[in-house]
Amino acid sequence: MNSVGKTTLNINPIYKFLLYQMIKKDLSPHIACDGNSLSTYNIDHKQKMYGNPLYYFVLRKIKKKIEKVVNGRLSPHSMWFNVNRKGGRTINHNHYTVGEDKISGAYYLSKPENSGNIIFNTLDDKVFVKVNTNDLIFFDSKFYHETEENKSNQERIICGFNFLVSYWHPP
């Protein structure tokens, strides 16, 4: 995959509310979170993906939606949640690991007005992608990306993820 995909994923507001109640218990600082931002990244990914029915529900919905777009079978690798409060942002980084073919992305559970968009950085340019609540953004794990600062008084909440990709090649 050598481009950025964007689609929408609607999850029941009650599920989102319950999910946020669980997320906020596990929030802690993370190296990619800057300013007033916290993450669940430091919690064991396998426990998070498979040990909690609501997390697993979200993971399956994301996987199903992306598999409709990419020509490959996806296997869950990791999943976490970031909460960016006023002044918070995510710094420039990528998710690439040598030897792994991954699709990375973010599902925007809550994206208030003026809370910032995602930026993809190339050698020559910055590409700003406007996002809204329920947007699902996915891309090659080698892509460097960051977010704009949240300038609103409300939280921007995203579910970050990585999927390993297995492509089928005809004999």
C-alpha–C-alpha distance, residues 87 and 32, integer Å: 14
Q: Is residue 171 part of a domain?
A: no
Q: Is residue 110 part of a domain?
A: yes
Q: Is residue 51 part of a domain?
A: yes
Q: CATH code at 82?
A: 2.60.120.620
Q: How many domains does the chain have?
A: 1
Per-residue pLDDT at 132? 98
148 with 117: CB under 8 angstroms?
yes
Helix (H) or strand (E) run with residue 119 in it = strand 118-121
Q: Is residue 90 part of a domain?
A: yes
- How does pLDDT run across 68-94, given as a tens digit for each residue? 888 778 998 888 899 999 999 999 999
Q: Is residue 123 part of a domain?
A: yes
Residues 104-121: what's their mean pLDDT? 96
Helix (H) or strand (E) run with residue 136 in it = strand 135-140
C-alpha–C-alpha distance, residues 115 and 96, integer Å: 26
C-alpha–C-alpha distance, residues 152 and 85, integer Å: 8
Q: Is residue 141 part of a domain?
A: yes
Domain that holds residue 156: 5-166
Residue 56 has pLDDT above 90, yes or no: no
Whole-structure pTM value: 0.90
Residues 4-23: what's their mean pLDDT? 91
